[in-house]
Amino acid sequence: MKRKLQSLLLIFLITNIFSKDVKAQNLNISFLLDLSDRIDPKKNPGIYQRDLQYIKSVQKAFTNHVKGKKMRLLKDQMQVFFNPLPNIENINRLSEELKVGFCPQSNKNDFLKIDKLYTENLTKIYQRAIKDHNYVGSDIWKFFKNNVQLYCIKPEHRNILVILTDGYMYHKASIMQVEGKSSYITPQYLASKKLTSAGYATIMRKNKFGFITFPYNLKDLEILVLGINPSPGNPYEEDVIKQYWGDWFKTMKVKKFDLLTTDLPAALEPVINNFIQGKL
């Protein structure tokens, strides 16, 4: 009887370890792109090119991960989201083509076309938004409210959400305040709350400042925020922005997150790669 129990326990442990290992091997990567006027070349020269390079770094890490797996184990996917949907020509087709998946039936062409799709389609999306000056903004707060659980989390996958944004959050359709909490932050808003000195953390705690949160348990989601670009007028702006985002993610029980300030793509590529590989 004792030997039988030991055998059952051993089988359970092996199965549990294998299940966790398979889950870690299956990547589900989602991008959420902020196509607000932060990508305007006149306002922020070079920002949209950096976005494209950051995305390229994630895409390369994803592709290398998939290529390193045995074909029979392939169960990986990557997609791009916007909120709201940008009002540009063929956006539905362009975004639909950016939904890529790999399974045991995938072939060599599937591996070859991902680089082309992510380079060409995303360049078109950014350039068309810039050309038309059609900056619809980015309602990141509402995306989390309505979509993050539905769109970005799949069972038996390592779920990663990559957000491209300057760290500010504002959309005319989502302007709310509940006591000290808000659905947005802008440089003007942070200044109005006196979050411009070394005592910003104390002020935030005392007044319960932060993003309006949701009763979610995002324990199966990892988040990488890229491109945080604080206003130069406040030396504590970067810290305040990261405090807002970090507190928000912790309240929603996000499994793991990293908040990276904008930098040269070459400098951030190894950091991005390590995050995707699970080394951070």
- pTM score, whole prediction: 0.91
Place of tokens 């990557």: 78
Separation of alpha carbons 160 and 216, rounded Å: 16
Structure tokens at 270: 């190894």
- In sequence order, the 6+-apart residues with CB closer than 8 A to the CB of 22 are 73, 156
Structure tokens at 101: 């998946």
Separation of alpha carbons 68 and 213, rounded Å: 38
97 to 27, 101, 109, 125, 234: CA distances (angstroms)? 18, 11, 14, 12, 41
- In sequence order, the 6+-apart residues with CB closer than 8 A to the CB of 194 are 203
pLDDT in tens for each of the 280 residues of the chain?
555 555 444 444 444 444 445 555 899 999 999 999 999 999 999 999 999 999 999 999 999 999 899 989 999 999 999 999 888 889 999 999 999 999 998 887 888 899 999 999 999 999 999 987 878 778 999 999 999 999 999 999 999 999 999 999 999 999 999 999 999 999 999 999 999 999 999 999 999 999 999 999 999 999 999 999 999 989 999 999 999 999 999 999 999 999 999 999 999 999 999 999 998 7
Domains (range + CATH), the chain? 26-167+215-277 (3.40.50)
Cα angle 210, 185, 244 (rounded to 5 degrees) comes to 35
Number of Cβ within 10 Å of residue 56's Cβ equals 17
